[in-house]
Amino acid sequence: MVDFTGNAIRDLRMQPELKWLRKPRCDSCAEEENTSVEAPKFFLVGRANLRLSDANDVIKIHSLSLEGSDEQHNRVPLFNHFCCRLAVQPQSVLQDAVTGHLLVKEKALGSPDVHQLWCRLRGGRLQCWNTPSEADCKGAILSVSLQKDSIVSKSALSEI
């Protein structure tokens, strides 16, 4: 849900200047520098519900539900719509989605060998090492890129 209370806008655009944290340059301007700055006030003027299905590469028009307000603090003309592009990123892009041991069957020269590897799934890539300690210092001995249409299933032996 997009909340137009100004919390996100304040963080991105409206940081008040904090004059009282700066040291005065001279004694004569110390009095001027010590005056505090009143932070801007924000009011809830509208709400919108955006869902994961609204995420897209293009800008879309979304409906805005205006909040009733008795005060005339809303000086911005809002017309029940706004434009934005909703971008999403799975948490697994930056963090490990799954880590653990995986049994991998290797088909070479007619005799299948089974190896137990330490693997992690992060950012759409399954990377495997011989031991967990190698994951921090060595490159992966096996790396499989997973796409949107890849099928991953849980079984006793996984063939790669």
Span 108-130, pLDDT tens digits: 656 678 889 999 988 888 899 99
Domain boundary assignment for the chain: 2-84, 92-159
Contact present, 146 and 126 (Cβ < 8 Å): yes
Q: Strand order in 125-129's β-sheet?
A: 142-145, 125-129, 111-122, 98-108, 158-159
Q: Using alpha carbons only, what angle is made at residue 87 by residues 145 and 6, rounded to the nearest 5 degrees?
A: 150
Residue count (the chain): 160
Q: Which of 19-28, 48-57, 111-120 has the lowest mean pLDDT?
A: 19-28
Give the global pTM. 0.44
**Tokens 């010590």 found at:** 34
- AA identity, residue 30: A
**What are 64-69's contacts with CB under 8 Å, separation 24+?**
64/4, 69/43, 69/45
Over 70: is that where the pLDDT of 27 sits? no
- 73 vs 132, more confident: 132
For domain 92-159, the question of CATH label 2.30.29.30 is answered with yes
pLDDT at residue 46 in the model? 80
Q: What is the mean pLDDT of residues 144-149?
A: 84
- 62 vs 8, more confident: 62
Percent of residues in the chain assigned helix, strand, coil, to nearest 5: 15, 30, 55
Span 56-72, pLDDT tens digits: 899 998 888 877 665 65
- Encoding tokens for residue 132? 């967990």
pLDDT at residue 28 in the model? 55
**Tokens 């796409």 found at:** 147
Rounded-to-integer distance, Cα 16 and Cα 77, Å: 24
